[in-house]
């Protein structure tokens, strides 16, 4: 029972045997989520903790450990090497869009766009979003599709959508 005058508890979402708490920043919640440990390791290696802890608002399309595991063998290990930091930074920044964007807003924009919506990542690269059989599909610059698996996880500085694939920008 909540006493009169006591604020209601912040809503949480169960993500990989931990809870994402709406009063915490994106970096804090990603660090605490066991199913996002590969993402957090990559964020640390890329030096992007500050990006995910800044006031935002930001939207993070967060790939799961399973998404990273679907990359070709050795890819994650290669990207985590210091000499590949620039590519890792570009890949991770490709998963972040300015603003707190909910799936409801995405659906409205897709409808208004005649079936597609374009968003620009903070890296300046385009993401194309469509609704396919009621699922939200994100297509990267290489034509690869990822889908939102868990949506609208509110954060103190934005929104996280858990996705089933790693989005890849065009790398030189």
Cα 77 to the center of its chain, rounded Å = 20
Q: How far apart are the C-alpha atoms of 10 and 4, rounded to whole Å?
A: 16
HEC string for the chain: CCCCCCCCCCCEEECCCCEEECCCCHHHHHHHCHHHHHHHHHHHHHCCHHHHHCCCCEEEEEECHHHHHCCCCCHHHHHCCHHHHHHHHHHHHCCEEECCCCHHHHHHHHHHCCCCEEEEECCCCEEEEEEECCEEEEECCCCCEEEEEEEEEEECCEEEEEECCCCCCCCC
pLDDT at 15: 52
Out of 20-24, 31-35, 68-72, 152-156, pick the least confident.
Answer: 20-24
Q: CA angle, corner 169, sides to 57 and 30, nearest 5?
A: 40
Q: Is the pLDDT of residue 7 over 70?
A: no
Per residue in 112-130, pLDDT tens? Answer: 999 999 999 999 999 999 9
37 φ/ψ angles, rounded to the nearest 5 degrees? -65, -35
3-17, 46-60, 121-135, 141-155: lowest mean pLDDT where?
3-17
The 10s digit of each residue's pLDDT in 25-83 is: 999 999 999 999 999 999 999 999 999 999 889 999 999 999 999 999 999 999 999 99
The DSSP bridge partners found for residue 21 are 12
What is the chain's mean pLDDT, rounded? 88
């Amino acid at each position: 029972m909540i006493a009169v005058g006591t604020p209601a508890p912040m809503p949480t979402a169960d993500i990989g045997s931990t809870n994402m708490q709406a009063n915490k920043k994106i970096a804090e919640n990603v660090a605490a989520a066991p199913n996002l440990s590969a993402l957090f390791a990559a964020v640390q290696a890329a030096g992007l903790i500050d990006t995910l802890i800044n006031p935002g608002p930001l939207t993070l399309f967060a790939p799961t450990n399973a998404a990273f595991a679907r990359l070709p063998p050795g890819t994650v290990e290669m990207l985590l090497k210091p000499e590949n930091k620039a590519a890792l930074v570009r890949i991770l920044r490709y998963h972040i869009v300015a603003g707190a964007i909910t799936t409801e807003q995405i659906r409205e924009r897709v409808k208004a766009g005649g079936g597609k919506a374009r968003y620009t990542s903070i890296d300046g690269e385009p993401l194309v979003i469509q609704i396919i059989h009621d699922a939200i599909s994100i297509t990267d610059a290489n034509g690869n599709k990822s889908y939102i698996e868990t949506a609208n996880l509110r954060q103190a500085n934005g929104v996280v959508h858990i996705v089933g694939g790693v989005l890849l920008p065009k790398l030189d």
